[in-house]
Chain A
């Protein structure tokens, strides 16, 4: 395992509620990523971080925000969850330029 823990692993919530997903790494890697995976779409990048307090948007960032206050934790927040955000969310980490990304086991989020 790449030393990545995602929590919670499963969550069911209602439309309009805030949701925060956590990615915790023990590898001290600089780069961290949040993806969503949907049938027929593969994995799509939501946000990424290239250091503490350094984040940027990915391909599908609308409706999501992130924070990284320390190297080991990268939080993904849905301020007001919508049914279209029902998905499986994966966190990934990468040590440096030219190194591969390693993924956690995901969080299955259902928004009713």
Chain B
């Protein structure tokens, strides 16, 4: 129940295309859904996040779509660029014992070809 399932494992997109990464969860106690971007040799960096009272959040070329009833959320990268090539992780947060914990998906390696 604490799992977050992420797909696809890898994704190849042409420059200018749309990249879409999907995540699904079971635990309805999750109340915060961040996406992280990770480049080789670096730590994950927060990209964008959403709470379940909102169905969509957009920041520049990055959009999170959230479907509470389906327990699914997705990241859309519009006009994908070679510099977007990285590994992307979705995550979900829940509170336990006075502290919040993040549960991560297994990651999607995105390659944007020039």
Contact = CB atoms under 8 A, between A and B. Distances in A.
Determine if chain A interacts with chain B. yes
Interface of A: 4, 31, 33, 40-45, 48, 50, 56, 58-59, 90, 92, 94, 97-98, 100-106
Interface residues of B, number: 24
Contacts of B32: 98
Interface stretch (B12-20, B60-68, B75-83, B95-103): B95-103
A45 B95 CA distance: 14
A48 B101 contact: yes
Contacts of B100: 31, 94, 97-98
Main secondary structure of the interface of B (DSSP, over half): strand
23 contacts: A31-B99, A31-B100, A33-B102, A42-B6, A42-B106, A43-B102, A45-B101, A45-B102, A48-B99, A56-B99, A90-B44, A97-B95, A97-B100, A98-B32, A98-B100, A100-B46, A100-B49, A101-B34, A101-B46, A103-B43, A105-B41, A106-B42, A106-B43
Nearest to B96: A56
* Those 9 A-B pairs whose CB atoms lie nearest each other, nearest first: A103-B43, A42-B106, A42-B104, A43-B104, A50-B99, A105-B43, A100-B46, A103-B44, A104-B43
A42 B41 CA distance: 15
Interface in B4-47: 6, 32, 34, 36, 41-46
Interface of B: 2, 6, 32, 34, 36, 41-46, 49, 89, 95, 97-102, 104-107
A3 to B, nearest CB: 12
Given A97-B100, A105-B42, 18 more contacts: A4-B43, A33-B102, A40-B106, A41-B106, A42-B89, A42-B104, A45-B102, A48-B99, A48-B101, A50-B99, A56-B97, A92-B43, A100-B34, A100-B49, A101-B34, A102-B46, A104-B43, A106-B42
